[in-house]
Amino acid sequence: MKVTHRNLVTEPARQLFGLPYKKQEHGSYNYAWLDWETTDKFKQLETINKPLDPAKIGLLVIDGDETTYWIGKWFRKGQKVPEGFQAIAVPESSAAVAWVNGNPDTGDLFGQRAMETAHQELVTRHMMTEDDWTNLKYVYERYDPQRFQPEENPTTLDYIFYVK
């Protein structure tokens, strides 16, 4: 696994439509992703609104000791949430971005290890601080349809960290 791209951006205020998950199974949220993929939840999510971005999103919301993982897509504020889904508003923020390239079959791209690899690379490049990591409120995985091709090995997953 290696970081192939990094930059600083401003993430706009928007909302994520999807579903929240509080518990991991076997150290991951793979069970939730499998449910989304096998039940066409992404298609259902787009029945009444067009998303801001075609990428699938895995949003980690950290509030003290409580962590919630959301799966969904980004939508403009004020759009109607489709039945069966929930929304979370996320504020505008500066963000540090790292593209992690690795093998999706071995779990290289997912979870704590990949997130920490991205974080360390951003700290090394002075794009993120240890204080940003300690006070992290939002971080998300962006499954860009042009870069994330799970049938290819290796493939790329974007990690975006909200920083101050």
| The residue to which tokens 């699938």 are assigned | 56
* Predicted pLDDT at 111: 83
Backbone angles phi, psi at 122, to 5 degrees: -70, -35
The band of 147, judged by pLDDT with boundaries at 50, 70 and 90, is very high
DSSP 28: B
pLDDT in tens, 102-111: 988 887 788 8
Domain total of the chain? 1
Domain limits at 57? 2-163
CATH number at residue 26: 3.20.80.10
What is the mean predicted confidence (pLDDT) over 137-146? Answer: 95
Beta strands in the chain, from DSSP E residues, in sequence order = 2-11, 14-21, 56-63, 66-75, 86-90, 93-102, 138-143, 155-163
- In whole angstroms, give the CA distance from residue 39 to residue 26: 21
Reported as type and span, the H/E element at residue 120 is helix 111-124
pLDDT in tens, 65-88: 899 999 999 999 999 999 999 999
- In whole angstroms, give the CA distance from residue 71 to residue 58: 5
For residues 144 and 156, the answer to whether their CB atoms sit within 8 Å is yes
Strand partners, 25: 28
Strand partners, 88: 16
* Predicted pLDDT at 54: 94
